[in-house]
Structure formats: structure tokens, C-alpha cells
Amino acid sequence: MSQKAKDKFTKHIAIIGGGCAGWSLAAQANKLSAKTISFFIKDETRASHSWGFWQMPWLDNAASHSRKKWHSWEIITETDYVIHQSENHPYCSLKSDEWINWCKQKFHSAKAKTELMLTPVHKTQDNSIITNAGKRHFDAIYDSRPPIAKKDILLQHFKGLEIRVPKPVFNPNTAILMDFRVSQKNGIHFIYVLAYDAYTALVESTFFSSKPHTDETYETAIKIYLKRFYDIDNFEILHSESGIIPMGDTLKQDLNPHLLAIGSNGNAIRPSSGYAFSFIQKQISSFVNRKSTPKTPHKIYDLWMDRVFLAVLQSNPKKAPGLFINLAQALNGDAFARFLSGSAKIGDYIRVIGAMPKWLFIYHAFKVLTGIDKKEQR
């Protein structure tokens, strides 16, 4: 065996962070060509979440583990609505527990020697990790620990309740991605409804604003919505989940330049939507298959358009329902799924740009191009 071939299987790799990105990379252990893979997480307890995505070629495996798929979805405002259909790209809901359990099986059955290190990482230094057990050197360290949101950027924050109701009121054939028929006084606000059957659904109150709210704010919004549109006063809570997703620039927790950032730490979150699962899988699949280093999974012009879109939302929050309905009206189901999954075609971009308020977007595009928007955030 040549020295090059031997070197291929003598790498000692570390992964830090037991979230979606860390476990998704761990599941690719056989493709990392490593002799040993050490996975550092604080503990194995983790809140369960529902991850949503449109089925794309790089997500076929994830889609096969999804709890439910919807070939129809809806966006609603007080004055309008759009229903999309797609046979090619259904919207999928995946339980985080289901995905991580599958990743664990792949990790522990890998050809390489794998070890799960249930200990916090105190510090990294060059290519070394320091824990209570001491200092260990690695050939590569993948860091999936979440970044820190910069001050005054938009945050997507939410609380969702999976509920069971006493009568069949939900439509399990259509997912409601955004229903803006709720109070907008505390920020851009919509309700997200994934009906698993006529009696059971995940109902989520989601805001875009600079600060998260109290649990009572989200829960009250959900109760008012259920009463107004489903005539539901009482329901059983089967599960609750919450989260905060930065929609813009972030700062890494660890500035060690030797670390290979992945997941939200590696800019995998789509800024304008907060969608992360799909882009994390795209990022990991890309660099693992190419034997390269992790890069952002987003196209440069997607990031530029997102930056302009977020600038418009932040300065004109009352226009948000109209902007999202315009976006939905400009595209059919397949194109909408492609656009939000980072796989838009040229025609999709043209239709989206054509559907947006011209002078408002030109004004903010100028501010983005000249960097004025960044200066205003300081």
C-alpha cells in the first residue's frame, strides 16, 4: 500500500456539538476516511423538535424518515391566500429524535473507531481540544456549536404545541406554512400549522423581531387562533417545542482559525427564512463527497437577495404579510420549493424580483450594495 493510501486512513477527526449538524456529520463517518472519530457533546439529553423541509435530491434519505409529507401547502393573510401543489417536492416534517437516532446507528456501526465523549469542551487550541480529561490533538476538528447572534438583527423565535383536539377540525392534506391572521403588534407574526390527522397538529406561533417573547405570548396567540378559526377552546398538549434562529450575521463562539465550522456555525441557516435542516444536509453532503472543507451551502446571489429582503422586512414590518403572499403568488409549488431550498432557476428569480415592490427594494438594494445597512446596525 502506498504512503498516500495509508495516510487516507490515519486521520484522527473530532466533531464538537450534538445538534443536527454534528450528528448529521457523524452519520457520514464511513465517508470521512478516518482512523478514529471522536464526538464531543455535553450530554445526550436534547429537546425534541420538528424539522421542516421540501424534499430535494440530497434529502431523499431524510424524507424517508419523515413523520408526514404534504403535497399541498398554504400561505394566508387577512385579505388573500395562496395554495401550492407539488408532487415532486412535498413538504416534510421530521422529528429530531428520529433523525438523531438514525445518525447514532450509522456512527456507531462505522468502520472507523468511534467514541462518544460526554464531556464539555472547555477550550480549543490550534488542532487540539481541551476537556476535563486533558488535551488531545486531532488532524481535523469540525465545530457545530451554535453561533452568537449579532446585536439588533432579526430573530425568528417561536413556540409550538403539538395538540390533540376533541373534534376533527384540521386538514391533514395541506400544511399551513404562514397564517398572518394574528396580531402584528409585537413584531412580524404568523401561525404555522402541520396537521398530522384531523385531530392532531403542531400549531406554532412564530415571530420575526429583535427580541424573543415570553411563553405566555406565544401560547396566548395559539389559543386565540384556535378559537377564532377552529372553534377550539380545550385541547390536550402532547408536546411543546421552542427555539430562536438568527436571521442575519452571527459571531462564532470560538474564533480558533483551525476549526472547520459546520451547520449554523458554518452559515448553513437560510437568512430570509430561518430554514436550516435542508442546508445543513446540503453542506455536509457536499464537502464529505468532495473530500473538501465545509463551505456555505448558499449561492452568493441568494445571500444578497436575502440581505435586501431582510432589510426591507426590518424597516417595513407591516408590509411582511404582503411581501410573503407576493412571493407565493409569483411561483408555482415546484418553483416555490426550489427557491426556498436554494435550488432556484433563473426564471424563478425573475418572477420573484418582478413580484416585489420596485422602489422599496431598489432603495434597500442600494443600501446593501454600499454597505449603509451594515453601518446602521452598529
Q: pLDDT value at position 378?
A: 53
pLDDT tens per residue, range 185-244: 999 999 999 999 999 999 999 999 999 999 999 999 999 999 999 999 999 999 999 999
Q: pLDDT value at position 373?
A: 64
Shared domain check, 311 and 364? yes
The helix (run of H) or strand (run of E) holding residue 77 is none
pLDDT tens per residue, range 27-64: 999 999 899 999 999 887 788 899 999 999 999 999 99
pLDDT tens per residue, range 120-162: 999 999 999 999 999 999 999 999 999 998 888 899 999 999 9
Q: pLDDT value at position 376?
A: 59
**Pick from 212, 246, 280: which residue ends a domain?**
246
Structural domain span for residue 267: 3-48+96-149+250-290
Which among 62, 53, 64, 58 has a CA at the least distance from the CA of 86? 53
- Is residue 80 situated within a structural domain? no
Shared domain check, 106 and 35? yes
- Is residue 59 situated within a structural domain? no
Shared domain check, 308 and 284? no
Report the pLDDT averaged over residues 2-6: 42
- Which three-class secondary structure string do you get for 221-283? HHHHHHHHHHCCCCCEEEEEEEEEEECCCEECCCCCCCCEECHHHHCCCCCCCCCCHHHHHHH
Has residue 179 got a pLDDT over 60? yes
pTM: 0.93
Q: pLDDT value at position 367?
A: 85
User: What total of structural domains would you count in the chain?
Assistant: 3
Q: pLDDT value at position 10?
A: 54
Q: What average pLDDT does the chain have?
A: 93
CATH number of domain containing 117: 3.50.50.60
Shared domain check, 121 and 14? yes
Q: pLDDT value at position 372?
A: 67
Has residue 3 got a pLDDT over 60? no
Q: pLDDT value at position 57?
A: 95
**Pick from 177, 211, 246: which residue ends a domain?**
246
